């Protein structure tokens, strides 16, 4: 009997080998398949699995597993295509917080991670239902399942009872579990990208015979780049395209290709994708544009069902220059040179420009992906790919947003430790942010904030594509500077001054050189030369003296970088190979040589990499500003690498299931989302142990008087605040009355609020009047590019006027928290400014950690604002808070599943 209503939503996830499986709760329809799973299991497997069914008949087991969910019992099934390949169940016995589990996977699918994946999802479901431990009775010799438990990453204890072992798994997730899940996720992700970026065979579907056909152009590029695998064309009207054999349909190909590139009309993209899935294609690139939302959804569904990763739609294609692959599945004009830069772009046009720019610099590309509409593969997947492809050492991104922002900040921070990660911050328009209602959201706008966020993630963000290439040239060719001290060397005094100014503007320093070095240089250079910094060699200098001079400065340890600004003279001619060689000679011994950059003032065009033999190069810029900015980015990267990454802070006493329940109850009441009322806000904050002012709700004047008597502060003062669903900014509407003393004042205040606000006020909030302190703001806001941010700064009514806020990406590490606390201009007030006592900084740090945790737990959290937080030497109190939730499900970082 079918219970379609009991069929829960399916999620897709990747196995260790990169193939896709679907997971969902079992339903009565599954009974036949579950029975078959048992019947097909070998006796050995049945015995050794710790599955409860080994003690029962298959019939009974199937009945029990597929029964509609009941309290304390859940069953998850895993499916591949239409086949059920595994089941996992938990059931509470006596203690509602502890459940027994059982697991079974089809014989032919062991060692693929099906069991682990089912368990991860079972852990998640159980945690959401308030279960704290799993127990499992396993035969002592069942090594496979013991290994599965151990690998899970949760804490497992064992009790030996004769031939069986009772494993007790504690479900509370921690950073260890998170990294175990994360590592499994990355392994699976990378494996799933294999058919996409390292295909052994490719079919171009929609390869036309006429010139001008996009499919034909791709086929042409694949052939011209000498693709290492087999190539097919799919075209129902031709036997061959560009002398490559053509077949009427993907199902007619002699073998299912690893990769299919779709260049068919938008209307037939979904059905073509379905056919690819059936034919066993490994991955899809869809270049076609103009799919409507429904067609895009059908396309994604077809890819999930068929276990295919998807690039696009609406993209330029992909390329991998690895010698054993040689794939150029793009319709760009030129094939990228092989090399070490990974490139991902959203727009095809920018992709072409970027590839052209890199080619001009002679920087080769490892892989190139035009992501288009990013229905599946995003920059996060590529960052992970480059992280372990063994080739990429420089990542370039040009994107409007970074895939799943929640995953982005973790991934970027990890990958940026291995390689420079460059992106263009095109500067988001303010319009989108203005739509956000609370002041916290508006405060997140400034460019300064965006710069800080990129910096926190270790990303080098430039303002233009040109600046991106300027940085790429420097980071590709030179070591990182240890600091920001620059020596400017020039053969024309004016050029040296320009360059020194440019360095200062970019935030670098041009320090005076030490006396002995100045003397040393003076002896080398023509008589009229000035050897302070900038070093003016005069136009009379000859190349050997100039290069000697640069070399001595580089070795001196007095500066962290050398900028050589040259104007061509008869003596230095344009740029002789000997000069370039001098600029790039590595120090044979002694300290690491600082980076050297050239500015050729006659060049006046974009950056070049001057070759100096033995593969060494030096970047040369047309303008000192470009060189200085690139150096400044390199200094920032070096500083980021030197900064301790810190650990993510785990505040104690957090009730995440409780918070989830508050969020779900609110969204059940207000499905479209909106502001929590005061009580809901209280409940949510209590789950995170956020120190709120004591408060009570009063429906009537008398209740307000009674509450005031209970709550009054040491000097008897109370605060009355109007509360109501639409009252977000209370004092703007005259809804906050402070420092009230005695029954009469309270009664008068209550009447005043009632008169002023009428029906907008549903009740009154009574709080003790807090002692004087520094009013601060702390909050969370969602940024469409970066994901959840934690904000901190000056609060109270001044917060809008002064806009003194800083923001950092959640989740915060201890280093992040320290930086966030010290970033706003108001910070000196906290640490005892002008003889004042320092406020409770630990309390503030703890508050920020708790807000960060809340943001990490609740993807529904659109914004949360504590304003003001009153900070005093003896503690902190949140006297006002508001929270807005939206109905969206983010990705649980503890749960692997595809978007
Ligand atoms: P809103 O932000 O909605 O206007 P608040 O509750 O933040 O309302 O109150 C406005 C201002 O009143 C605060 O910025 C703070 O200066 C002051 N205030 C509010 N509650 C208290 C309190 N319990 N003790 C002392 N001052 C308070
Ligand atoms: Mg306020």
| Residue 12, beta-bridge partner list | 22
437, 693, 718, 731: residue to mutate for ligand 1 pocket, most atoms within 8 A of CB: 731
Distance 737 CA to ligand 1 centre (A): 9
**Count of beta carbons in the 10 Å neighbourhood of residue 645:** 15
719 lines ligand 1 (CB under 6 A): yes
E-assigned strand segments in 371-427: 394-398, 421-424
129: tokens are 């239902």
677, 693, 707, 719: residue to mutate for ligand 1 pocket, most atoms within 8 A of CB: 719
Profile the chain (899 residues) by mean pLDDT over runs of 10 residues. Answer: 50 87 92 89 66 59 82 92 90 91 88 90 87 87 79 87 85 80 88 96 94 94 97 95 95 96 97 96 96 95 91 96 97 92 92 94 96 90 94 91 72 93 72 39 54 88 93 95 96 92 97 95 90 90 86 92 84 58 58 85 82 81 95 96 87 91 95 93 96 94 94 84 88 93 95 94 95 93 82 79 80 92 87 83 97 91 94 95 86 64
**What pLDDT is recorded for position 776?**
94
796 lines ligand 1 (CB under 6 A): yes
Say how far apart CA 75 and CA 77 lie, in whole Å: 7
Instruction: For residue 242, report the phi and psi dihedrals to the nearest 5 degrees.
Output: 50, 40
717 lines ligand 1 (CB under 6 A): no
Ligand 1 atom nearest residue 796's Cα: 14
What residues does each domain of the chain span? 5-189, 193-401, 479-642, 646-693+771-899, 694-769
Residues recorded for the chain: 899
Cα 883 to its chain centre, rounded Å, is 23
Distance 887 CA to ligand 2 centre (A): 25
Ligand nearest to C-alpha 775: 1
**CATH code that applies to domain 193-401:** 3.40.50.720
Q: Rounded to 5 degrees, what angle do the CA atoms 338, 340, 341 make?
A: 100
| Element spanning 186, H or E | helix 175-197
**Residue 54 per-residue DSSP state:** G
Ligand 1 atom nearest residue 770's Cα: 24
866 lines ligand 1 (CB under 6 A): no
**What pLDDT is recorded for position 892?**
58
727-768 pLDDT per residue, tens: 888 998 999 999 999 999 999 999 999 999 999 999 999 999
- Give domain 5-189's CATH architecture: 3-Layer(aba) Sandwich (3.40)
Distance 867 CA to ligand 2 centre (A): 4
CB 370 within 8 A of CB 314: no
Say how far apart CA 397 and CA 407 lie, in whole Å: 16
Phi-psi region at 599: left, alpha or beta (left = phi > 0; alpha = psi -120 to 50): beta
721 lines ligand 1 (CB under 6 A): yes
Distances (CA, A) of 785 to 404, 559, 890: 9, 37, 14
Distances (CA, A) of 887 to 622, 728, 893: 51, 20, 18
868, 870, 877: residue to mutate for ligand 1 pocket, most atoms within 8 A of CB: 868
The CATH class of the 694-769 domain is alpha beta
Identical fold for domains 193-401 and 479-642, yes or no, is yes
730 lines ligand 1 (CB under 6 A): yes
Say how far apart CA 351 and CA 371 lie, in whole Å: 10
Q: Rounded to 5 degrees, what angle do the CA atoms 217, 222, 223 make?
A: 100
Among 368, 360, 359, 318, smallest CA distance to 337 is for 359
Phi-psi region at 113: left, alpha or beta (left = phi > 0; alpha = psi -120 to 50): left
CB 789 within 8 A of CB 807: yes
| Residue 132, beta-bridge partner list | none
789 lines ligand 1 (CB under 6 A): no
**What pLDDT is recorded for position 893?**
57
Q: Identify the residue whose tokens are 């080398």.
A: 524
Among 376, 406, 201, smallest CA distance to 305 is for 376
β-strand 230-234 against 240-241: which pairing, if any?
unpaired
Among 489, 509, 412, 484, smallest CA distance to 453 is for 412
**What pLDDT is recorded for position 738?**
95
| Ligand 1, atom 13, residue with closest C-alpha | 796
> Could you give the dihedral angle defined by the CA atoms of residues 15, 21, 22 and 24, in that order, rounded to the nearest 10 degrees?
-60
User: Which of 1.10.3720.10, 3.30.470.20, 1.10.10.10, 3.40.190.10 is the CATH number of 646-693+771-899?
Assistant: 3.30.470.20
799 lines ligand 1 (CB under 6 A): no
Say how far apart CA 156 and CA 648 lie, in whole Å: 23
- Give domain 479-642's CATH architecture: 3-Layer(aba) Sandwich (3.40)
Say how far apart CA 436 and CA 440 lie, in whole Å: 9
Distance 445 CA to ligand 2 centre (A): 20
**What pLDDT is recorded for position 53?**
41
722 lines ligand 1 (CB under 6 A): no
Distance 711 CA to ligand 1 centre (A): 16
Ligand 1 atom nearest residue 867's Cα: 7
Cα 754 to its chain centre, rounded Å, is 48
Say how far apart CA 363 and CA 477 lie, in whole Å: 10
- 157 CB-side CA count, 13 A: 4
440 lines ligand 1 (CB under 6 A): no
| Ligand 1, atom 19, residue with closest C-alpha | 879
868 lines ligand 1 (CB under 6 A): yes
Ligand nearest to C-alpha 728: 1
**Residue 68 per-residue DSSP state:** P
**Count of beta carbons in the 10 Å neighbourhood of residue 755:** 9
CB 543 within 8 A of CB 579: yes
Tell me the H-state helices in 42-174.
Answer: 43-48, 58-66, 114-128, 143-152
Say how far apart CA 644 and CA 285 lie, in whole Å: 40
222 lines ligand 1 (CB under 6 A): no
Distances (CA, A) of 624 to 154, 402, 462, 564: 55, 32, 16, 9
Query: In the chain, what are the helix, strand and coil shares in percent, each to the nearest 5?
Result: 40, 25, 35
Distance 713 CA to ligand 2 centre (A): 20
Among 539, 434, 490, smallest CA distance to 498 is for 490
Within 8 A by CB and 6+ apart from 764, the residues are: 697, 698, 699, 704, 720, 721, 722, 723, 750, 753
Say how far apart CA 731 and CA 757 lie, in whole Å: 11
775 lines ligand 1 (CB under 6 A): yes
β-strand 805-809 against 787-794: which pairing, if any?
antiparallel
Say how far apart CA 451 and CA 260 lie, in whole Å: 39
């Amino acid at each position: 009997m079918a219970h379609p209503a009991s069929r829960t939503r399916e999620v897709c996830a990747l196995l260790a080998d990169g193939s896709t499986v679907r997971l969902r709760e079992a339903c009565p329809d599954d009974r036949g398949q579950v029975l078959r799973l048992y019947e097909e299991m070998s006796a050995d497997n049945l015995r050794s699995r710790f599955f409860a069914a080994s003690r029962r008949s298959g019939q009974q087991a199937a009945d029990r597993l597929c029964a509609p969910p009941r309290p304390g019992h859940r069953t998850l099934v895993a499916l591949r295509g239409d086949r059920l390949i595994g089941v996992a169940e938990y059931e509470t016995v006596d203690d509602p917080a502890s459940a027994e589990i059982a697991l079974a996977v089809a014989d032919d699918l062991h060692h693929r991670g099906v069991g682990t994946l089912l368990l991860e999802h079972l852990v998640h479901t159980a945690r959401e239902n308030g279960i704290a431990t799993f127990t499992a009775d396993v035969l002592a010799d069942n090594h496979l399942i013991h290994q599965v438990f151990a690998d899970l990453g949760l804490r497992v204890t064992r009790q030996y009872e004769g031939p069986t072992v009772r494993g007790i798994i504690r479900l509370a997730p921690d950073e260890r579990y998170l990294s175990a899940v994360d590592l499994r996720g990355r392994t699976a992700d990378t494996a799933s990208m294999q058919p996409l970026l390292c295909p052994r065979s490719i079919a171009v579907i929609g390869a036309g015979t006429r010139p001008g056909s996009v499919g034909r152009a791709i086929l042409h590029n694949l052939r011209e780049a000498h693709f290492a695998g087999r190539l097919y064309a799919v075209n129902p009207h031709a036997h061959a395209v560009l002398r490559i054999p053509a077949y009427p349909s993907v199902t007619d190909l002699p073998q299912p290709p690893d990769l299919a590139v779709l260049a068919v009309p938008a209307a037939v993209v979904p059905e073509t994708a379905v056919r690819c899935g059936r034919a066993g294609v490994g991955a899809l690139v869809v270049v076609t544009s103009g799919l409507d939302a429904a067609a895009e959804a059908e396309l994604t569904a077809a890819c999930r069902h068929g276990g295919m990763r998807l690039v696009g739609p609406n993209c330029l294609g992909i390329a991998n220059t690895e010698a054993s692959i040689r794939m150029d599945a793009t319709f760009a004009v030129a094939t990228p040179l092989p090399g070490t830069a990974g490139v991902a772009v959203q727009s095809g046009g920018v992709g072409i420009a970027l590839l052209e720019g890199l080619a001009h610099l002679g920087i080769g590309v490892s892989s190139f992906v035009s992501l288009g509409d990013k229905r599946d593969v995003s920059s996060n997947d590529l960052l992970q790919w480059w992280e372990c492809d063994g080739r990429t050492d420089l990542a370039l991104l040009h994107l409007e947003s970074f895939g799943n922002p929640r995953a982005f900040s973790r991934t970027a921070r990890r990958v940026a430790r291995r390689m420079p990660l460059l992106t263009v911050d095109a500067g988001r328009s303010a319009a989108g942010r203005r739509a956000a209602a609370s002041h916290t959201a508006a405060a997140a706008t400034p460019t300064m904030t965006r710069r800080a966020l990129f910096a926190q993630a270790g990303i080098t963000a430039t303002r233009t594509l040109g600046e991106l290439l300027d940085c790429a040239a420097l980071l590709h060719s030179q070591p990182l500077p240890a600091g920001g001290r620059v020596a400017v060397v020039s053969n024309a005094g004016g050029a040296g001054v320009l360059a020194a100014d440019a360095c200062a503007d970019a935030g670098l320093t041009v320090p005076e050189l030490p006396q002995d070095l100045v003397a040393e240089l003076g002896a080398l250079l023509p008589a009229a030369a000035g050897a302070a910094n900038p070093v003016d060699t005069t136009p009379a200098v000859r190349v050997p003296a100039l290069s000697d001079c640069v070399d001595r400065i580089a070795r001196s340890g007095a500066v962290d970088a050398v900028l050589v600004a040259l104007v061509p003279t008869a003596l230095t001619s344009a740029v002789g190979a000997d000069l370039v060689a001098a600029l790039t000679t590595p120090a044979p011994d002694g300290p690491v040589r600082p980076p050297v950059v050239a500015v050729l003032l006659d060049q006046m065009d974009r950056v070049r990499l001057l070759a100096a033999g033995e593969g060494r190069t030096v970047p040369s810029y047309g303008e000192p500003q470009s060189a200085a900015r690139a150096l400044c980015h390199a200094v920032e990267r070096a500083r980021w690498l030197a900064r301790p990454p810190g650990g993510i802070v785990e505040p104690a006493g957090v009730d995440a299931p409780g918070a989830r329940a508050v969020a779900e109850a609110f969204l059940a009441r207000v499905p479209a989302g909106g502001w929590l009322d005061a009580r809901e806000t209280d409940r949510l904050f209590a789950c995170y142990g956020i120190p709120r002012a004591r408060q009570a709700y009063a429906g009537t004047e008398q209740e307000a008087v009674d509450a005031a008597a209970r709550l009054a502060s040491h000097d008897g003062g109370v605060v009355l605040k109007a509360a109501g669903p639409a009252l977000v900014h209370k004092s703007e509407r005259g809804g906050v009355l402070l420092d009230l003393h005695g029954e009469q004042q309270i009664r008068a205040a209550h009447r005043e609020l009632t008169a002023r606000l009428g029906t907008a006020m549903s009740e009154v909030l009574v709080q003790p009047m807090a002692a004087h302190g520094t009013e601060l703001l702390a909050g969370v806001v969602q940024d469409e590019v970066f994901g959840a941010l934690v904000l901190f700064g000056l609060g109270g009514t001044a917060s809008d006027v002064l806009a003194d806020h800083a923001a950092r990406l959640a989740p915060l590490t201890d280093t992040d928290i320290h930086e966030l606390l010290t970033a706003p201009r108001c910070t000196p007030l906290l640490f005892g400014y002008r003889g004042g006592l320092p406020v409770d900084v630990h309390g503030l740090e703890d508050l920020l950690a708790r807000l960060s945790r809340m943001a990490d737990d609740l993807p529904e959290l659109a914004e949360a604002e504590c304003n003001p937080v009153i900070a005093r030497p003896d503690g902190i109190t949140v006297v006002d808070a508001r929270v807005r939730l939206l109905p969206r499900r983010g990705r649980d970082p503890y749960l692997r599943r595809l978007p």
